[in-house]
């Protein structure tokens, strides 16, 4: 399974982006729980989930930064 592409994260709208961030955080929690109870069968899922979370948070930050830049340009 390949790592997710950032273009997939950029294609989401703001609400879907927030929902996806929450879902990935829950997935990471479940993976940590499985690791602690020694039930984790696929440890590579940690890397995929962390990678996906980083992408989603990056896209969210890009959008907030772009929004604040446009607001600053409007005020000037």
Please state, in angstroms and as integers, the Cα–Cα distance from residue 34 to each residue in 11, 27, 37, 39, 42, following that order.
31, 10, 5, 5, 10
Max CA-CA distance within the chain? 57
Q: What is the pLDDT of residues 29-52, one digit of tens each?
A: 999 999 999 999 999 999 999 999
**pLDDT on residue 52:** 96
Higher-confidence position of 8 and 73: 8
Domain at 13-75, CATH from 3.30.565, 1.10.287, 1.10.10, 3.40.1350: 1.10.287
Could you report how far apart the first and last alpha carbons of the chain are, in Å? 48
Judged against a pLDDT cut of 70, whether residue 1 lies above it is answered with no
**pLDDT on residue 30:** 97
- Over residues 2-22, the mean pLDDT reads 93
């Amino acid at each position: 399974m390949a790592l997710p592409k950032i273009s997939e994260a950029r294609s989401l709208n703001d609400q879907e982006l927030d929902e996806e961030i929450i879902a990935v955080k829950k997935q990471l929690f479940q993976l940590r729980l499985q690791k602690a109870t020694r039930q984790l069968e696929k440890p590579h899922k940690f890397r995929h989930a962390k990678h996906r979370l980083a992408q989603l948070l990056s896209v969210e930050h890009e959008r907030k930064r772009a929004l604040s830049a446009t607001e600053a340009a409007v005020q000037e």
